[in-house]
Amino acid sequence: MLPVAVDAMGGDKAPDEIVAGAIQAAEELGVPVVLVGRPEELGDTGGLDVIPASEVIAMDADPAKSVRRMKDSSLVRAAEAVRDGKASAMVSAGNTGATMGSALLRMGRIKGVNRPAIATPIPAPGHEHPTVMLDAGANAECSPEMLVQFAVMGAVFARRRYGIETPRVALLSIGEEATKGSPLVKETHALLADGAVEAAGATFIGNVEGRDLMGDDADVVVTDGFTGNVALKTLEGGLKAIVGAIYEVFGSTEETRAAADVLLPALIPLAEQLDPDTTGGAMLLGVDGVCIISHGSSSAPAVVNAVKVAAEMVEADLVGELTAAIRPPE
Amino acid sequence: MLPVAVDAMGGDKAPDEIVAGAIQAAEELGVPVVLVGRPEELGDTGGLDVIPASEVIAMDADPAKSVRRMKDSSLVRAAEAVRDGKASAMVSAGNTGATMGSALLRMGRIKGVNRPAIATPIPAPGHEHPTVMLDAGANAECSPEMLVQFAVMGAVFARRRYGIETPRVALLSIGEEATKGSPLVKETHALLADGAVEAAGATFIGNVEGRDLMGDDADVVVTDGFTGNVALKTLEGGLKAIVGAIYEVFGSTEETRAAADVLLPALIPLAEQLDPDTTGGAMLLGVDGVCIISHGSSSAPAVVNAVKVAAEMVEADLVGELTAAIRPPE
């Protein structure tokens, strides 16, 4: 397998944690990894090859401008490596918009794909696998046709990533009835109900609500990138607020601290399930290559998981499967 | 004060819990309460008067049709009582759409209000007061002008309800930059940045993201009813999933059960803060009367809190304040 290109400069903890994760991934998973970034800033790369890139796109930089202007940035070079057959996939915890932009610019779209979408795994405690939600923020404005493509791509991804033979695809709305929701949702519902995902081996199960995201009702939940991003961030913020409040109670007296000492080890598996570092990151579906967008706060274990998922998706020929599932408009 | 009209037939636990809550509210708060519903189904009303209504709009009934056809329903009669000066406010845990419809049909809109919006308090653990989010689901499709009115109404409500002299109003988006988001968000941002809420004594602080809803960054968060409803339900579902998972860990072994026994009493204040029963329900802003929409799962304490908030909002002349703040288009 060609190496997975890891953007060593992207993320709040770059380059140290990213490099450490890349080294660990290569050692523990046996997956070939190549780092992309400023060689002089990477420290000991543990023998990993480096694709040099002199520029770094900042986390808060304007994505479109940066990608256009910074042709020697680690992000653009990572995407280029995939395009040029020097890497099998790219992984970045950097600027999300610039990661998408670089992938689009250098890898291009899969033939027939209108717009790529970000597929994010939403943890579903107590259930076998997370819920795949897309689009989690690539496209603030969507058409019904785009959402239908997201549904098809999400179904293919859920099958390859989680082994779900016939993924249940749902549409995010504000009520289960087909007549509820925004005009976008109603039109998309009609297209999906008309059999738009059946050719991809999936089943459309109708609308779900925000409360179903962390449950087991659907395998794939489709929405526009604005709503999806709000839902994802709301969930992140909500979990953070509640976990923070619980920890505060745990630490409030000597008695509660002692009780918490007993409970905390038992809570670790749950905490891990909710930690975005464990999911392997989000996937940019629709570009002509495997591209993983990790959380900006990624530390070494997140990079290990992202490299693992990237390698699995390359082995599973995710891009080939997506290409076959997307029929260009006639 | 005129009595608060409580829809005795609305909600998953109606009429028993609703009647119990109404009696408790009258006794403990000294607020006059009148029940609305089928007298023969209400049991002992503890001396409370009853406005008879022979029909009940089911929780899952079509709101528009039901309100139009069921003129002798408890919801329509409750709204009518406010219009006719027989009640000061209405409270219902019933069908949300039908509650809005009844209020709109019988009370009408405040002059100049384009569309009413549902303002929901989002708990913010560790902070002084919840975040007011609107619209939480009344209008799946909104214009920038509607969102500006929601901002003004939300600011007036936050001041009257939580005593915030100069509410900080924010717009829900997918990034803090004014250039991010959907076309609706960008246009609304421009109007709000141009001073649209300053006349109402509020400050526009820009965009916030979903993760800020449970925090202290903004007092009022404005969004369209589709996004707001998805965010609200996502939060509800997320909290439920995580609390459920934590309880499961607590109960898993003898040791964890013993430790949990120590912690659970300390967790009660947090659980109460997160319980929708404690917030007093959501408020329909923009109709010409006080209308509280309680959670469908409301039990007696939720009704007590809703009656309390209703009475406070009547005393504070919320509707008069809203009327003064909304300038009809010239």
Predicted confidence (pLDDT) per residue in A148-177, tens digit: 999 999 999 999 999 999 999 999 999 888
Q: Decide if B118 is inside a domain.
A: no
In this predicted structure, the answer to whether residue A328 has a pLDDT above a threshold of 60 is: no
* A296 in the same domain as A264: no
User: Which of B:182-211 have CB within 8 Å of A?
Assistant: 182-183, 185, 209-211
Is B125 at the interface with chain A, CB within 8 A? yes
Does B266 contact A at CB distance below 8 Å? yes
Q: Indicate if the pLDDT at residue B43 is higher than 80.
A: yes
Is B230 inside any structural domain? yes
d(CA B15, nearest CA chain A) in Å: 25
Same domain membership, residue A297 and residue A235: no
Provide the β-strand partners of residue A122: A131
Task: Report the gap between the CA of B274 and the closest CA in chain A (Å).
Answer: 9
Average pLDDT over residues A126-142: 94
More confident residue, A267 or A207: A207
Per-residue pLDDT at B280: 83
pLDDT band at B330 (very low <50, low <70, confident <90, very high): low
Residue B323 lies in a domain: no
If you average pLDDT over residues A232-246, what whole number do you get? 92
Q: Please tell me the distance from the alpha carbon of residue A189 to that of residue A147, in angstroms, as a whole number.
A: 10
Residues A45-66, mean pLDDT to the nearest whole number? 95
Starting at the earlier edge strand, list the strands of the sheet with B33-37.
Answer: B49-52, B33-37, B4-7, B89-92, B290-293, B282-285, B117-122, B131-134, B220-222, B168-172, B203-208
Q: Check whether A329 has a pLDDT greater than 60.
A: no
CB contact under 8 A, B211 and A236: yes
The share of chain B scoring above pLDDT 70, in percent, equals: 99
Q: pLDDT tens, A70-96? A: 999 999 999 999 999 999 999 999 999
Q: Residue B269's pLDDT is what?
A: 87
In the predicted structure, residue B311 carries a pLDDT above the cut 80: yes
Tell whether B154 and B220 lie within a shared domain. Answer: yes
Taking CB atoms and an 8 Å limit, are B239 and A237 in contact across chains? no
Other beta carbons within 10 angstroms of residue B36's beta carbon come to 30
B238/A239 CB distance under 8 A: yes
Q: Which residue has the tokens 């609703």?
A: B18
pTM: 0.94
Q: Does the beta-carbon distance from A260 to B263 stay under 8 Å?
A: yes
CA distance A100 to chain B (A): 15
Residues of chain B with C-beta less than 8 angstroms from the C-beta of A58 = none
**Which residues in chain B (81-100) have CB-CB distances under 8 A to chain A?**
none
Helix (H, G, I), strand (E, B) or coil at A50: strand
Q: Do A263 and B270 touch (CB under 8 A)?
A: no
In the block, residue with structure tokens 């959907």 = B182
Mean pLDDT to the nearest integer, B226-255: 92
Q: Are residues B139 and B273 in the same domain?
A: yes
A290 and A160 in a common domain: no
Does a structural domain hold residue B327? no
Question: Are residues B167 and B94 part of one domain?
Answer: no
Examine the pLDDT at B205 and tell me if it is beyond 90: yes
Question: Which residues from A are below 8 Å from B95, CB to CB?
Answer: none
pLDDT at residue A327 greater than cutoff 80: no
Q: Is residue B195 part of a domain?
A: yes
Query: Which tokens in the block code for residue B192?
Result: 């709000």
Residue A216 vs residues A170, A211, A213: alpha-carbon distances, Å: 11, 11, 8
In chain A, residues with a C-beta closer than 8 Å to the C-beta of B255 are 262
Searching chain B, which residue's CA lies closest to the CA of residue A215? Answer: B241
pLDDT band at A330 (very low <50, low <70, confident <90, very high): low
CATH of the domain at B21: 3.40.718.10
Which of chain A's residues have a Cβ under 8 Å away from the Cβ of B174? Answer: 137, 140, 225-226, 229-230, 233
Judge if B40 and B182 occupy the same domain: no
In a domain, B3, yes or no: yes
Nearest to B241 among A214, A233, A243 (CB): A214
The mean predicted confidence, pLDDT, of chain B is 94
In a domain, B328, yes or no: no
How many independent structural domains does chain A possess?
2
Q: A200 and A322: one domain? A: no
**Nearest partner of A284 among A137, A130, A119, A88, judged by Cα:** A119
Q: Given B209, B230, B270, which is nearest A210 (Cβ)? A: B230
In this structure, the answer to whether residues A146 and A220 fall within a common structural domain is yes
Over the stretch A26-43, which tens digit does the pLDDT of each residue have? Answer: 999 999 999 999 999 999
Residue A36: give the domain boundaries: 1-113+286-330
3-state DSSP assignment of residue A49: strand
B229 part of contact set with chain A, CB < 8 Å: yes
Co-location of A131 and A263 in the same domain:
yes
As a whole number, the mean pLDDT across chain A is 94
Q: Which residue in A has a C-alpha nearest to residue B181's C-alpha?
A: A140
Angle CA A167–A170–A175, to nearest 5: 155
pLDDT in the model for residue B90: 98
CB contact under 8 A, B230 and A227: yes
